[in-house]
Structure 1
Amino acid sequence: MDGQRFAEIARAAFGKGRRLAGVERLRGGSKKGVYRLSFDDDGPGAIVYVWSREEDFWPAAADADPETPFGHASGLRFFEAAHGRLRGLGVRVPEVYLVDRPGDVVVVEDVRGGTLEALLRDDPGRAGRVMDRLAQSLEAMGRERAPWVGKVEGTRRRSAVEVVLEQALRDLDEAAVRVGRIGAVREDFESALREMAADVEPRADHGLIQGELGPDHVLVDDRDRPVLIDIEGTMFFDVEWEHVFLRIRFHEHYERLRVDGLDEGRMRLYGLAQHLSLTAGPLRLLDGDFPEREFMLGISKFHSGQALEFLARR
């Protein structure tokens, strides 16, 4: 979008009394454009999310069946559905100032307290308070139940284990082609996935999860409350999927988020599935022109090693 379009969006959100002073594109987004608006007064800034093919670094094939649990959740409708559900549970999400539905654009609050990732590094004491509140949010989400798996506006009725196994086998096929060490033991990985999936007991209902909740997807507001962002993939699913990802991303800090009653069989299956996903996914993203190439290659290399270690321990 050009400067004129951002000026129009700012005017629609805040009226003619505030003049746009600057637009800064923020780093990190792979499915949408994220821009910070600043103004020539003392009032708060704002964040603009823009969903479009031009702002999406993933290959076009990623758009296939976005309604599925792991489908390509990109667009205003996914944001709105997740935002409404999370806010209804008392989970802190950015305030919405403007929705431009035809343009697939939303203007939201600029939460300026930084990420929880940075706070864990720079101020562990304060971060501990935020982590405890994040744990409360996750508990509230886990108590919200549905008899199906899928995005919050969906009605999918397949089991979570079936969905994970199917996706993990696709990721395995791709990783085996792209990573020689994975390809050399592809059949062993497939056997392990199928055996673990067969051992998991069926489940009748599922909790609400963000889907990829790392400390970089949690902002901190001026009252030390965690603010969830990148929420478009929010879905009803096994909470174990969320907790495997939390364990990977929060490292030693995960203990503050751990909950009782998690199914260890699911945790093992989902752990291997996520290592394979984080091996193949970054490489798939790099088929396009995503700029942070070394970072993505590092993620893929680390998780291919983790997958191989997992297999060796069985």
Structure 2
Amino acid sequence: MRQFADVEDLSKLVRDALGPGCRVVAVKRLRGGSKKGVYRFRLEGTRMPGVIVYSWAEAENFWPGEREADPADPFAPASGLVPFLAAHRTLDALGVRTPRIHLADDSRRHYPADVAVVEDVSGGTLEALFETDRRRAANALGELAGTLEVMHRHRSRHYGRVDRLESAPLVSCERRVLDRALRDLDEAAERDARIAAAAPAMRDRLQELAGRVRPRAEYGLIHGELGPDHVLIDAGGHPVLIDIEGLMHFDVEWEHVFLRLRFGEHYPALARPGLDQRRLDLYLLAMRLSLVAGPLRLLDGDFPDRALMQGIAEHNAREALALLRPS
């Protein structure tokens, strides 16, 4: 049985961050996180009604048996205070709104894990706002499009996560994506008979698509996993990016493939001209395979929302197979 955060220890952390007059009146662990625990604290005796606490304790990470990470791989698991703070600093310097940090600590003196106390953004997610207030959602979506343009125009000659962006990688972005997709294909084929039957054709298709991509020497700044559930809305209606630990310089086409999948009918507001169609074609198939292998790998462990992950894997398996059919 997993033992999540000790609420009293985290409450002390909150009081250290906000002062001795702060009183904790309620604590709730929020659902959905797979690599860190996210806790909402309701408060009295302070100017803010609540805060969020992130805990990167080992017991909060549901990913079973993650393979040894290559430090140069931008897709290596991004977890902990170092990538979080590096991403926060980078976005703050660009004027991109993220939750304000009240306290960040990796000393283990306050708590036996990396922790951060951050602003509790009050307006819920953009995903929820699409259902409840389409006008406000459209305004936030337009502002998000501008935010993404700022990020994607922030260029680097090297690709990689912002906390590891030190030197030129030995392989190209497209080769990195291809290698990852081939691994995901192998993993998915072990767990899904339909993918196994189509694996030779899928492997050939990935190689063919990768062979069409021409070299590139500059990379934009991307969130890497930006769905409408990773965009909060503040009291002024402005978008606030969360789950930023994977922030990286990479091909912006990778971001746009994910945006198109997650924003669906709302994606046209985020679309931009000039994207490389050959990269989009490769990255779409690679993304579909990632969204089969990843959820199925997560289900090897004890992740609680199993129906959600099974549904994601099933949907993306069908979509991946459809990409093999002549259009």
Q: Same fold (TM over 0.5)?
A: yes
> Does the Cα contact within 8 Å between 1:62 and 1:71 map onto a contact in 2?
no
Match of 1:53 in 2: 58
Aligned counterpart for 2:151 among listed residues 136, 141, 148: 141
2-side partners of 1:7 and 1:292: how far apart? 27
SS, match of residue 61 in structure 1: coil
Other-structure match for 1:69: 74
The alignment yields a C-alpha RMSD, in angstroms, of 1.2
TM-score normalised according to structure 2 size: 0.94
Could you tell me whether the CA contact under 8 Å between 1:93 and 1:229 is conserved in 2? Answer: yes
Unpaired segments ≥5 residues, structure 1:
none
1:287 matched to 2:300: yes
Equivalent of 1:15, from 19, 28, 33?
Answer: 19
Q: By how many angstroms is 1:18 displaced?
A: 1.0
- Work out which of the residue numbers 230, 234, 240 in structure 2 matches 1:227: 240
What is the alpha-carbon distance in structure 2 between the residues aligned to residue 143 and residue 92 of structure 1? Answer: 17
**1:212-244 residue CA offsets vs partner (Å, 9 max, x unmatched):** 100000000011110000000010100000000
1:244 matched to 2:257:
yes
Note if contact 2:140-2:239 (Cα within 8 Å) is conserved in structure 1.
yes
Give the partner amino acid of 2:64.
P
Establish whether residue 26 from structure 1 lines up as the match of residue 30 from structure 2. Answer: yes
Q: Secondary structure at the match of 1:283?
A: helix
Out of 98-107 and 187-196, give the one that drifted further.
98-107
Structure 2 counterpart of 1:7, which letter? S
**1:65-214 alignment runs, 5 A limit:** 65=70, 68-102=73-107, 103-154=113-164, 155=166, 156-157=168-169, 158-214=171-227
For 2:68 and 2:7, locate their aligned partners in 1 and report how far apart those are by CA, in whole Å: 28
Question: Which structure has greater helix proportion?
Answer: 1
Post-superposition offset of 1:62:
4.6
Dislocated runs of 4+, deviation >4 Å:
none
Match among 260, 280, 285 for residue 272 of structure 1: 285
- In structure 1, give the amino acid aligned to 2:239: P
Please say which of residues 14-23 and 254-263 is displaced more in the overlay: 14-23
Instruction: In structure 2, list runs of 5 or more residues that go unmatched.
Output: 108-112
For 1:37 and 1:258, locate their aligned partners in 2 and report how far apart those are by CA, in whole Å. 37
What is the CA distance between 1:101 and its match in structure 2? Answer: 1.8
Give the Cα separation in 2 of the matches to 1:196 and 1:67. 23
TM-score (norm 1): 0.97
Tell me, yes or no, if structure 1 residue 304 matches structure 2 residue 317: yes
SS of corresponding position for 1:108: strand
- Taking a change above 3 Å as real, the CA distance of residues 66 and 299 of structure 1, as seen in their structure-2 partners, is farther
SS at the partner of 2:221? Answer: strand
Question: 1:31, 1:113 → 2: CA distance?
Answer: 24
Question: What's the offset of the Cα at 1:204?
Answer: 0.4
